[in-house]
Every structure is written in C-alpha cells, then in structure tokens.
Structure 1
C-alpha cells in the first residue's frame, strides 16, 4: 500500500516511478507485488494492523519500525524551490518564504516540514503541471517540485525551462524512500537483502534510467563512497553531461569541486571525461524507453 505522491507513487497509468522500480526489483527475485493507493490517514493504521504486507514507498518512522523491516533507500524525495526566471530561489527553509504564495499539489503527505510551517501562503494545485501553470500565470510566486520532475523538465523542455524558470539548489525537504515489509512475513530479512542487492544491478544495467526516464544518473556504483556518472547506454555523444540526477544526494560522500569527475562505462570507471574511450562518445539519438506501467508522464505547457 502507498499514498499518492506523483511522480513516485500513483494509480496505474500515472507517473509512479518508485512503484515501478520496486515492482521490477521484486519481480527479479521472484515476487509479484500489487500496490493499493490509500489516503494518508489510512496508511499507518493499516500497516500496523497487518491489513497489508507492507509498502513499496515509505519514509522511515519509529512507530512503523516496530513491525516493519526497511530496505536500503532506493530513491529520495527532494523538494526544490522553483520560481519564475529572475526570482530569488536561494531560500534554504520554507520559513524564509513568509508571505509568498507557494503552489503545492493538494492531497500529498508533505510531512511536518510543510504542514507546520507558518508564514508562506500555500496554493493548492492538481498536479506538477498545474503548479507550473499557476507559477507562470502569476497565481503563485513559487512552487515546490521534486528534483526528479525538474530533471524531466530540463531533459524534455530544456530551453523553455531555463528561459522561464529559476531552480533552487538546496532541497527544502528531503526524505529517503524505502521498501518496507512486515517483520512477521516468512523470510522477511532475506527478501529485503535480495532486494537491496538487486538495486545496485539496476543502476548499472540501465533499469533505473529506463524507469525514471533519465539520461544520466550519479551514484556510488563501486561502494567506495564516491559517486560516478552512469549513462543510460554505452553511446552518449562527444560531450560530458551538463546535468544528472543524484540518486542519493544525502548520506554518502560526494565529489569535491577540485576532484575529477568519474564516469562508469562498460563495467569500468574512468577518471575524467578525457579518459573515456572514444567508442562510448558516439552520438545515440535514442532515449530511455518508457515503463510499461506508466502510460502518461508529464505534459508541461510553456
């Protein structure tokens, strides 16, 4: 079970990247799962009572940890401040935006960081697309948008997005997403262990890229604490990526500005773009394929 938080969780046919990832990882260890979307008020009581076996996309919570076993984080919710071009998007906390109108998708469980903040004026919207529309037509001063949606915007509407929008660099809310199953399920620890192992393979084999609709991901693929740039395929074009999606931006060391960028191709790690073999720099005009579970992605209008 899960609540609706587009583009991570949603009903079939809508953006539901987290559910797609978990479904594929579980299928690869021989488990077929079905997720029911419920409202926030029902989530925790149903998990604690045993009505459901677990949740495919859950934030950690002390109360729930008593009965649930959590996987390693496989994605993060990172809410970034987005404004119209020229707006000040340097805020590091919602409290810095007192008096500003902020478009938020109604019905999402944003957590206490949003619900208890005094000062900003929250404007309800129906979807990320509706939030952008309200921002551009002046109904809102800002919107909070997940970093994954921003990557989609930049990849698919690059010129329009950069010309008309301003993006903050500091997440105002970050939460890690986990698969969680009841501790009482037979072989629960083994299931979680096998799931965790599958995640690493899905990063390097392009599954993450395909399911999240991304060209480049940055993640620690060799476990040394440094993140590498991982492409969706072995032909990426002659230039290094201008942007990438940080798979886990918190909790692991990151490359310092003075350090050489590391790239992962064909099972090898290369220090710096100049060391990447030319065979990988051939242009590839194909993009990651769409998940069969997600018929509709986003329809932003500029």
Structure 2
C-alpha cells in the first residue's frame, strides 16, 4: 500500500494548482492572439482613403500606427450610404476616418484628431483671398462635397447657394466649368489640385485668408466594443510619439509637419530623412495642432532636436528635387478637367 503524507499531498496539490494556472494563462494568451480583429470602416475619399490601389494617405498612415501600437485592427472601405448602418448593426465596430461636423458622438469612443482637416474657400479668382468667414460668401454659388454638406454644421449655413457633389472630382469640375466661382475643400486636396495644375502649366487656385472651418480625422469606436477605451488610449499615445518622430511625414506625403513638440506653446517643424530634403521649404509645413510657428520654433528630424534650420538641413539628404512632385490626383482621370481649365 502506498501512503501519502500530508506534506507530499500538499506539494502535489500546489503543483497541480500551478499547472492549472499555467494552462489557463496559456489558453488566455492563445485566445487573445487569435481574437477577432476590431473592424473599422470608412468611405472612399480621394487621396485620403481607397481600397483599389489609388493613393490613400489615411490607409497608409493608420496601417503604420496600428502596427506600431500592436493593435489588431481591420480596415474596410465601403460606400458612404452603408457606413452608418454597418456600425449600428454591429457589422463594423466603428469608423477609422470619422469627421465630426456637429454630429451626435454619444455612441462612440473618439480618439484625438490624428490628422486635422482645414476647410478653405478656393477659387480661380484672387478675390477669394479676402474671404475670412462664411458670411463673406453670402449669395454666391459654392461647390462642396456631400460628405461636408450633409452635416449639421453646414446645413445651418442658409445664405449660400450650395452646389453639392458626390465626389472630389465632381466638386473640382464645378470650378473648371465655371459653374461655381468658389469651392469649399480641404487644404491638402486643394494643394494636390494645385500641384496637378502647376505641372500642366495652368494657373493655380487661390485660397481664402484662413480656413473657414476646422475639423479632423479620428477613429470612432462603438461604446458596445468592450475594449474601446483601451484601444483609443493606445492609439492616441502611439500617434503622438510617431508625429514627434516624423514617422507620419512619409505616409502623408508631406515633407514638413508642424506641432508644439516641446510644450512651449509654439509649433515646431517636424521632418524625416525618408522624405524631407534640404531643399524643401518650410512654408508648406502642415500643422498637426493648429498652433503657429515663429522665429523661436525648433526643428525635429527623425525625432532628434535641432536649434536652427541650418543644423536641421545638415542632418537631411542633400539631394535636390530634379523634377516637381507628381500630384496624388490621377492625371489621366483629371485630363478632361485640365483641358477645361
């Protein structure tokens, strides 16, 4: 007969318990590893969002951020008409390019703005440069995309003759055909059209004196998603660090960004050696936080701080741009528009 002492039985029980805990942790890790991804959707938006091989700055940016943050996120691009209902029915967990222009956000956990959107009035005519407020466009015909027009903020603007358009191309064509003397669009989109026009030796667009509205891209996750807050917190932290190190410049196709990195209330210039060269000018810097730059702004290249532009340029590739950058707008698609310009 085998007799087990109380001592040996106690050790056996402890080891069995430890084995059980280890197995439970292992199973939990495996379940986490194979957990279903968080599904976020967005509608196509020229140069920003696409799933058919066209330039898609937001897709490229977020894929880089999610990988860095070790977040299991799946991006889906769909028609605008299906986006809201897909979130409501649980087919999607949220949106990855949410633009808040007065909508009810109570059902979402929202991230910080990871890319601001500055909406300007643009025109072929230089008189737009005197426009500072929406009332300055009163009684004028103004082209605009439906994604902006169909929001509470714009529906409140009653004294403007809105010419609504389903796509960016249609909105730009309003200007090309002289059917609308003004267009409300994002600064980055207007820049891309100007690049296309300049490369074709056409007169470029003029901008209003300042942006008439400011919003931005956010991720918006349904509050029904159990870990929504932790996803958003990890996303915010990762984005901020990547902005400071210049890791978003290349996905956004922007040589210089600006942001108050050192917390002194003045925006600093952010570049990255993968895209910024010593010949890139500072006046094209795109603001990530809306703060102004000044003579005391410092420079960050690949996350390293430089006190002067000369020092920053010395850390950048010296190659000159031998040819103008191609526009992110497809020239073949816009060829007819260019002929009408």
TM-score range, shorter chain: 0.7 to 0.9
The reply on whether 1:102 has 2:138 as its aligned counterpart is no
Cα 1:58–1:230 shift into 2, 3 Å: same
Aligned residues of 2:279 and 2:321 also touching (Cα < 8 A): no
Which of 246, 255, 265 is the equivalent residue of 2:301? 265
My pick for the range that moved more, 72-81 or 99-108, is 99-108
Aligned-partner Cα distance in 2 for 1:179–1:17: 15
Cα 1:243–1:70 shift into 2, 3 Å: same
Aligned-partner Cα distance in 1 for 2:270–2:131: 30
Aligned-partner Cα distance in 2 for 1:110–1:228: 35
1:133-282 aligned within 5 A? 133-154=173-194, 157-158=197-198, 163-233=203-273, 236-238=277-279, 240-249=281-290, 253-256=291-294, 259-276=295-312, 278-280=314-316, 282=318
Structure with more contact order per residue of length (Cα contacts < 8 Å, sep ≥ 6): 1
Write the deviation string for residues 11-49 of structure 1: whole angstroms up to 9, x where unpaired: 543454334322332233141313242435x55554345
My pick for the range that moved more, 271-280 or 92-101, is 271-280
Alignment correspondent of 1:64: 105
For structure 2, list consecutive stretches of 5 or more residues without a partner in the other structure: 1-40
Write the deviation string for residues 118-154 of structure 1: whole angstroms up to 9, x where unpaired: 2322224454344334324422201112011133345
Richer in helix (by share): 2
Structure 1 or 2, whichever has the larger Rg, is 2
Equivalent residue of 1:2, what SS? strand
Cα 1:274–1:232 shift into 2, 3 Å: closer
Equivalent residue of 1:35, what SS? strand
TM-score, structure 2 as length reference: 0.70
Alignment correspondent of 2:126: 86
Displacement of 1:155:
5.1
Number of aligned residue pairs: 289
RMSD value, Cα = 3.4
The reply on whether 1:50 has 2:90 as its aligned counterpart is yes
Displacement of 1:80:
0.7
Aligned residues of 2:111 and 2:235 also touching (Cα < 8 A): yes
Equivalent residue of 1:192, what SS? helix
Aligned-partner Cα distance in 1 for 2:201–2:166: 20
